[in-house]
Structure 1
Amino acid sequence: MKTRHASRLVCVGLGLALAACGHETDESELASPEHGSNQPKAIYLRDSNGSPMGLASANEVLVQYKLDANNADKKRVKDKVRGSRKNGVHSKVMKDNGEGELELVELPIDQTLEAALEDLKDDPALTFAEPNFIYQHTAVSNDPFFTNGSLFGMYGNTSTPANAFGSQAGEAWTKNQICNNGVYVGVIDEGIMTTHEDLVNNIWVNPFDPVDGRDNDGNGLIDDTNGWDFAANNRSVFDGPSDDHGTHVAGTIGAKGGNGKGVAGVCWSVTLISAKFLGQSGGSTLGAIRAIDYFTDLKRRHGLNIVATNNSWGGGGFSLSLKNAIDRANAAGILFVAAAGNGGSDGISDNNDTTPSYPASYTSSNIISVAALNNRGQLASFSNFGATSVDIGAPGSGIVSTVPSATSTSAYASFSGTSMATPHVTGAVALFASLNPGATAAQIKAAILGSAVPTPAVTGKCVTGGRLNLGDF
């Protein structure tokens, strides 16, 4: 069974008003579009101290308008940089929060990103302007992979098989703590194979928008049956074998347990909703924001018990627009479980206290940042850490879960990464919420962190100094 690190490139715009804090570009690291495509060029950004911030689109800029900005203001902003509208988002939750539209502006070929940010930084119609950064993926049961010893992330001290460095899920299951479908989790990632044999029974079917070619629930999306593809802007959340990372993550959270098939997720009966924003060529900040706001809107308007989103992606610089979306989710009581990151370009672990990895490094109180451990309780060689910026460790090396095969049939594979550690914690959030109806997001987070088992490998390297333990819920 092939093991790999989850490291597919994902385009997501991040970084607040760099012109205001100063930055440099490395012209030697410009990347051109492939084969004459219309993909934006990429440029490597550094902050005023010369520290790397990551790749960003060289010919795009994100602008956040104030709520009272009118069409004339928006035209003037674009004219100032000789740009044109490429995309935009002004979700209902943004409007409810008193926020204006976030617009992606495409720059002409002879306009530099630095100059555009400088021209826009003091514009009275804008709250801020920022680059479009490039992100990376941060890739008792009778289920065969559990019983044959392959699913260490789900084991506990006394489960059969046993591994003290697992999440202790097996011990929870023996007490019949197996979740319920009244708890919902959003998977912000690639798509999910909704017909996978170990997932099909736990995939959300939207009761508010039956398939009839109309937007019955008024969210601007037509027939969003299982969620939405924000990368392609259509209702299909599964587009084939390339959606393996999102399917793998979903399986760790909530693959059906006790069905004699494949694997078991932490939370056997959780309801999974797909928000695909990562396509084969990556994603965008707008896509990520729309995905986050999608879940916030579902909870606010329809009362769905969405307790968390899983975010196994990261990298790049700071984005106020993305942090604002995470904060809107926080206001709705939705936890944002995020991968701590798989190191920099060298794939060797970094200290997030000194080298932030976003979105895990945002200070939003609903974030749980997750490092990866191996089956010996050691910090994985690729896993980021941080005494104050990473919260907890969880199994993330050699994790077996659901994937589509090359022909889009049900299959299983072993991946490694903080991407794989994160859904163990998301599943734990769902399990705790199932066992404690009415618990707030803050209470759930406190319970997850408070139950961590002290672990030498992460002592002084994460807030809890310990690893995930859901056996005592």
Structure 2
Amino acid sequence: MKHPFRTAALSAAVIATLGLSSAAVAGGRPDLVLAGLKAGKAHQAGELLVKFRDGSTAAQQTAVRQGLGAEKLDVVRQGNGKKGELALMRLPAGKDIAATVSALAANPNVEYAEPNWTYQHHATSNDSYYSNGSLWGMYGDASSPANQYGSQAAEAWAAGHTSCNGVVVGVIDEGIFYNHEDLAANIWTNPYDPADGIDNDGNGYVDDVRGWDFEGNTNNINSGGASDDHGTHVSGTIAGIGGNGKGVAGVCWSGVKLISGKFLGRRGGSTANAIKAIDYFNDLKARHGLNIVATNNSWGGGGFSQALQDAIGRADSAGILFIAAAGNDAYNNDTTASYPSNYPNANVIAVASTTSTGGLSSFSQWGPTTVDIGAPGSGIYSTVPVSSKGKLVSGYASYNGTSMATPHVTGAAALYASSHPGATAADIKAAILGSAVPTASLSGKVLTGGRLNVSGF
């Protein structure tokens, strides 16, 4: 059965003259930004992302900042003589963000301005958990234990497909407890930048051995300690080591390598750091030719961000899928947009959560045209760090959420890519959506009307 796949909507291009006429039209979507602010969407207090128009001069950009009385906090994306930079600014105390966004929409040197939105993760709080019946999300119709509403990963394993050799996945989330007994062998080690205090590969991140912590600006991807449980949990679903008689098994037992793009912390994460994480993976693929097929994005919140959508678009150009949680507030995303899963870019796969009995999870958001597929997300056991006597040790826990459904799909992307060398992001997305099993609870709720099925991958 073929399904009408969601494709990217082409936004209207605004071409500024070289003289940056005062009649230049603002880019971005200030209407959606202002709607998000009016709805009370969370954002970093007083912070504003400003994308300067291509061709604007350094003097013009400085004049904009000085006119606002703003402090420049960071350059999120570098500009040059032709491309305008994306800057993070702090407004003076008491300056209204909505009024500033509206004013900058009329500034000929500014393409768009938007708040630095805040995001949160989408979870509510012979491998032992597989054998005892707990790991239902990996089961298939004919596996033992069996569950027809699982992802059917066990059937792919039974056919001999347990390794995702040569495939790399980015985890944009909290950090990862990389020494976990069920993850350590599947964590990437950067051969291009060994730990020597030097940025050997010139990507701007010194000793990014296993990835980068964009929230703390450090190479410690487990800087949150035991609080990096969410990022560790989704990682175990993608790549928990299988066949080792311990804990859980991920969709990919071995071969796959996980790279951390940590941007969520105790207070959530920001648009600016999410963009940096996405572009980090885009650059790794372009710079080193890493076979990064997908990033897992089990987070959401905030309003519309043109800057974030542009970063996802750059990932699409790099051939990287952006697999995203639909959200946990039980509403229709067709009616009320939920970001980032609602961005219409062609590389986005939006994931709803299902239960072990085939229902749409009570918390899961849905969308007949904006959510693509369902996957196991209720009662999902996976890896977590546990603090014991002042040390971090390997643990396991059951979480609920579209956060937990999403890595099942990310694991599926890795599994398919490993058995289909040369498959494009579009090919992998088509395979995942095209193999969905029709499911009554998802009919009219998600684009495919079905749930994840990796048995043929």
Query: Normalized against structure 1, the TM-score is what?
Result: 0.87
User: Would you say 1:391 and 2:372 are equivalent positions?
Assistant: yes
CA deviations 1:361-401 (Å, max 9, x no partner) are: 00000000000001001000100000000000000001000
Equivalence for 1:33: none
Where does residue 342 of structure 1 map in the other structure?
328
- Which 4+ stretches in 1 moved above 4 angstroms? 16-22
User: 1:246 aligns to what SS in structure 2?
Assistant: helix
Q: Distance in 2 between matches of 1:468 and 1:443?
A: 16
How many Å apart are 1:282 and its aligned residue? 1.9
Instruction: State the Cα deviation string for residues 210-250 of structure 1 (Å, max 9, x = none).
Output: 11111110100100000000000010000200000000000
Code of the residue aligned with 2:131 in structure 1: it is T
Contact 2:28 2:111 (C-alpha < 8 Å) held by counterparts: no
Which residue of 276, 290, 293 maps to 1:307?
Answer: 293
RMSD value, Cα: 1.7
The C-alpha deviation readout for 1:4-29, integer Å capped at 9, x for no partner, is xxxxxxxxxxxx867556847xxxxx
Q: 1:80 aligns with which of 67, 81, 84?
A: 67
Report the alpha carbon displacement of residue 103 of structure 1 after superposing the two structures with TM. Answer: 0.9
**2:381 alignment partner in structure 1:** 400
Query: Would you say the 8 A contact 2:137–2:380 is kept in 1?
Result: yes
User: Is residue 121–residue 268 contact of structure 2 (8 Å, CA) maintained in 1?
Assistant: no
1:357 and 2:338 are equivalent in the alignment: yes
Query: Are 2:279 and 1:279 aligned?
Result: no
Q: Does 1:113 align with 2:83?
A: no
* Offset at residue 180 of structure 1 (A): 2.6
Match of 1:381 in 2: 362
Give the match for residue 178 of structure 2: 194
Distance 1:316 1:172 in 2: 38
Letter aligned with residue 69 of structure 2? R
1:261 aligns with 2:246: yes
CA distance in 2, matches of 1:236, 1:357: 30
SS of the counterpart of 1:336? strand
Q: Distance in 1 between matches of 2:51 and 2:303?
A: 17
Name the SS of the counterpart of 1:77 in structure 2: helix
Aligned residues: 424
- Residues 20, 441 of structure 1: CA spacing in aligned structure 2 closer, same or farther, 3 A cutoff? closer
1:36-435 matches, cutoff 5 A:
45-46=37-38, 52=39, 54-90=41-77, 99-139=83-123, 142-239=126-223, 240-269=225-254, 270-343=256-329, 349-407=330-388, 408-435=392-419
CA contact (8 A) 2:42 2:301 kept: no
- Residue 269 of structure 2: SS of its match in structure 1? coil
Report the AA paired with residue 68 of structure 1. Answer: G
Does the CA contact (< 8 Å) of 2:120 and 2:269 recur in 1? no
Q: 2 CA distance for matches of 1:238 and 1:22?
A: 33
Whole-Å Cα distance in 1 between the matches of residues 456 and 77 of structure 2?
42
- Residue 296 of structure 1 deviates from its aligned partner by 0.6
- The one-letter code of the counterpart of 1:86 is L
Taking structure 1 as reference, are residues 53 and 112 closer, same or farther at Cα in structure 2, changes over 3 Å only? closer
The C-alpha deviation readout for 1:28-82, integer Å capped at 9, x for no partner, is: xxxxxxxxxxxxxxxx822xxxxx3622334121100134333312221112211
Q: Which moved more, 1:172-181 or 1:148-157?
A: 172-181
- Is contact 1:184-1:304 (8 Å) kept? yes
Quote the Cα distance in structure 2 between the aligned partners of 1:438 and 1:17: 34
Kindly tell me: are residues 95 and 410 of structure 1, through their superposed partners in 2, closer, same or farther at Cα, counting changes over 3 Å?
farther
> Using the alignment, how far apart are the partners of 1:254 and 1:417 within structure 2?
18
* Equivalent residue number for residue 18 of structure 2: none
Is the 8 Å Cα contact of residues 58 and 113 (structure 1) preserved in structure 2?
no
CA distance in 2, matches of 1:67, 1:414: 48
Aligned partners of 2:334 and 2:172: how far apart in 1? 25
2-side partners of 1:21 and 1:422: how far apart? 26
Offset of 1:114 from its aligned partner?
A: 2.0
Contact 1:81 1:119 in 2 (8 A): no
Asked whether the equivalents of residues 181 and 202 of structure 1 are also in contact (C-alpha less than 8 Å), the reply is no
Answer yes or no: is the 8 Å Cα contact 1:80–1:119 preserved in 2.
no
Deviation string, structure 1 residues 138-175 (Cα, Å, up to 9, x no partner): 12xx1000000000000000000000000000111011
Change beyond 3 A, Cα 1:17–1:109: farther
Q: Which runs of 5+ in 2 are unaligned?
A: 1-26
CA–CA distance in structure 1, aligned partners of residues 268 and 300 of structure 2 = 12
Distance 1:413 1:272 in 2: 20
Q: 1:90 to 1:375 in 2, by over 3 A?
A: same
Q: Distance in 1 between matches of 2:33 and 2:328?
A: 27
The residue type paired with residue 175 of structure 1 is: A
- Partners of 1:20 and 1:165 lie apart in 2 by 41
Give the secondary-structure state (helix, strand or coil) at the position aligned to 2:387: coil
Q: Is the 8 A contact 1:231 1:283 kept in 2?
A: yes
Task: Indicate the residue corresponding to 2:23 in structure 1.
Answer: none
